[in-house]
Chains A and B, each alone.
Chain A
Amino acid sequence: MRRMLSAKSLVAVIAFFLAMDVAGYSAAGYLKQFTFDDAAALDTWAKMILHGKVDYTLMKVGPNGYVQAVSEKACSALYYRVAFKAADYPYLSWKWQVIKFPDKSQAFDDKAKNDYAARMYVIFPFLSFSSSKFIEYVWTDDAPAGTVIDSPDGKNIKMIVVRSDPAGGDWYRESRNVYEDYLKAFGEQPKLKVGAVAMMCDADNTKSEAESLFDEIAIASQE
């Protein structure tokens, strides 16, 4: 009887963890966690090449890995498809570091200035481009943190300046409440599901160079 109970308990525990895995949980509260420590960590991320190819390389320091993005007059992104409601998993956190900002000294309009050493995207896709919504968290040296900028590519793309510290040397950890940021940026609650998250480093408009590092990206229900 006791043996039967323990066998049942074991089955229940296995079933619970299987269900958690199917649901995409990697730990309590987390929908997704990317530590980039594994050599195959970037295999689940897809590349989107816009103008030229940015080198996204998995780097290792001891057991810890991170993503290095180097852009030479290029613009391409790494994205991960995932479906969830921002109300259920509002927190997006990541670590980043900017090594080099793109040179915007010769860029005079918004379109020409639309280069950022580091961006994190939260994408809310819908039936058409104009009905889809996009939030871009950017690190830039030409606007103060907290600024919300309309993208030159459309009012449905809001760029939130998360950091404006100078480049070089230090890792910074960010944690954003995507639900609250959406509310603040668009003036309404998100009705659409998140369809993807992405990271990008670009310097194509300014025809310059940029470099940044990304690590520990996570989507969670709690901060």
Chain B
Amino acid sequence: MIRRKRYFVDKNTQMPYLGLVTVPLAVLLTAVYYAIYYAVMNQLVIPEAIASALLPAMKKVNSIMIFVLPVCFYLIVRAALIYSNKIVGPVPRIERELDRAIAGDYSVRLKTRDNDALAPMIGKVNVLLEKMERERDVG
């Protein structure tokens, strides 16, 4: 069992997956914020009602958001790092280990963490390596 040491392994590999989580979440949060604003504005109709009820409320919400948003942003990025790392975290190490196998060292075994997304596939690659090693020893 390997413990996770770094959540950000490789910029080129992990960034697209990081974006896959953070961008939709950020868009969703913005869309929810705007949908609430628009729905209330549309409901109030009368400008004096919007100016006296909605705008002060939105000002208060915005002043709270100044403190809440950085926390939300931190949590989103942290979640994105953890989930993207589960997918692409082992990739650079697997590449190094596969390079050893390509060079002829079939004794190498790919290491994984249980909750990595690629764990089932890595297990099968290890079975294949084991089989290749056995066949070479017999031959």
Task: Give the residue of B45, B47, B53, B54 whose beta carbon is less than 8 angstroms from that of A157.
Answer: B47
The answer to whether B47 and A48 touch across the interface, beta carbons within 8 angstroms, is no
Task: Give the residue of A77, A81, A114, A154 whose beta carbon is less than 8 angstroms from that of B46.
Answer: A77
Residues of A within 8 A of B52 (CB): 50-51, 153
CB-contacts of A170-201 with B (<8 A): 195-196, 198, 200
The answer to whether A48 and B51 touch across the interface, beta carbons within 8 angstroms, is no
**Stretch from B22-30, B36-44, B66-74, B125-133 forming part of the interface with A:** B36-44
Interface status of B21 (Cβ within 8 A of chain A): no
Residues of A within 8 A of B135 (CB): none
Interface status of A125 (Cβ within 8 A of chain B): yes
Residues of A within 8 A of B50 (CB): 129
User: B51: nearest residue on chain A (CB-CB)?
Assistant: A153
Complex: how many Å from CA A51 to CA B49?
9
Q: A127-B38, A129-B54, A129-B55 are in contact. Are A153 and B45 (CB under 8 A)?
A: no
Most chain-A CB neighbours within 10 Å: which of B41, B44, B47?
B47
Interface status of B137 (Cβ within 8 A of chain A): no
Task: Give the residue of B37, B38, B41, B46 whose beta carbon is less than 8 angstroms from that of A50.
Answer: B46
The answer to whether B49 and A48 touch across the interface, beta carbons within 8 angstroms, is yes
User: B41: nearest residue on chain A (CB-CB)?
Assistant: A129
Complex: how many Å from CA A136 to CA B51?
15
Chain B contact-residue range equals 10 to 19
Q: A50-B53, A129-B55 are in contact. Are A153 and B47 (CB under 8 A)?
A: yes
User: A51: nearest residue on chain B (CB-CB)?
Assistant: B52
Residues of B within 8 A of A136 (CB): 47
Q: How far is the CB of A158 from chain B (nearest CB, A)?
A: 10
The answer to whether A79 and B47 touch across the interface, beta carbons within 8 angstroms, is no
Most chain-A CB neighbours within 10 Å: which of B38, B42, B49?
B49
Complex: how many Å from CA A77 to CA B47?
11
The answer to whether A75 and B42 touch across the interface, beta carbons within 8 angstroms, is no
Complex: how many Å from CA A127 to CA B47?
14
Interface status of A36 (Cβ within 8 A of chain B): no
Most chain-A CB neighbours within 10 Å: which of B44, B46, B48?
B48
Interface status of A106 (Cβ within 8 A of chain B): no
The answer to whether A114 and B48 touch across the interface, beta carbons within 8 angstroms, is yes
User: A49: nearest residue on chain B (CB-CB)?
Assistant: B49
The answer to whether A121 and B38 touch across the interface, beta carbons within 8 angstroms, is no
* 11 pairs of residues in contact across A and B, judged by CB atoms under 8 Å: A77-B49, A79-B45, A81-B45, A114-B48, A129-B50, A151-B47, A153-B48, A157-B47, A195-B45, A196-B45, A198-B46
